[in-house]
Amino acid sequence: MSELRDPQQNYILRALSPPEFERIAPHLELVSMSCAEVLYEVNEKLQFAYFPTTATASLLCGLEDGASVEVAVVGNEGMLGVSVFMGGDAALTQATIHTAGYGYRIPAKSLREALGRSGGRRAGTLQQLLLRYAQTLIMQMAQTTACNRRHSVEQQLCRWLLLNFDRMHSSSLAMTQELISNMLGVRRESITEAARKLQQAGIISYHRGHIEVTNRPELETHVCECYGILKKESERLVTDLLAA
């Protein structure tokens, strides 16, 4: 199995103590995650929890008019299906893959059973690591909400691009402007205009549904403070996981 398909490419799984990892390893199943694949819908009973290794997913909140807005991005630093270990069994958001890749899934029942045998909140235990990740996820959702409310479309686009490229194993992102506008909950014309400005400035290139960041340092000067806050928290999470 290639390194990128190793379950311990996911930071939570890597941080587990050897006994804890051995307890859940037999229940982990490698899955290919396709772009636009919906892993679960809002209020759906969760059958699995997912640990991405190379795929990236969006957590989306739906609205009555059929629109949906992204509230968090999840890559190999985290997991999908937090309700499984937080006392519920229904999904609170939709989870959709937007960067194809691999991940591992574990039956919800198996994860709960492993949590029941976990060594409490000691460092390196499954319970402690999942709770630590949940803290970061809640913080990301809150900061994203503030960003969507207060900052310009261009700043939101820059934040979105940087957060996604931080989690990717590629320099090119397959994503249409229409999909990005849906993620951010803004008009497509607004994304088109913001992307045009960034492309004219030589910061990104966009061609046939593929976006490439050509000048990352300059892109970081166009983003709002929300990216720095989220990046710092993500780095703190990874540091905590690796130190567990």
> Same CATH topology for 3-145 and 152-223?
no
Domain ranges of the chain: 3-145, 152-223
The Cα 32–Cα 35 span in angstroms is 10
Residue pair 23/119 in contact by the 8 Å Cβ criterion? no
Q: Residue 66 is which amino acid?
A: G
pLDDT range class, residue 209, cuts 50, 70, 90: confident
Average pLDDT over residues 28-37: 96
Tens-digit pLDDT profile for residues 136-180: 999 999 999 999 999 999 999 999 999 999 998 777 898 889 989
Is the pLDDT assigned to residue 184 strictly greater than 60?
A: yes
The Cα 106–Cα 25 span in angstroms is 9
Domain 3-145 listed as CATH 2.60.120.10: yes
**CATH code, 152-223:** 1.10.10.10
Residue 64 pLDDT: 87
Residue pair 100/33 in contact by the 8 Å Cβ criterion? yes
Helix H or strand E encompassing 111: helix 108-117
pTM listed for this prediction: 0.92
Strand order in the sheet with 48-52: 29-33, 101-107, 48-52
Residue 13 pLDDT: 97
CB burial of residue 41 (10 Å; 0-12, 13-18, 19+): middle
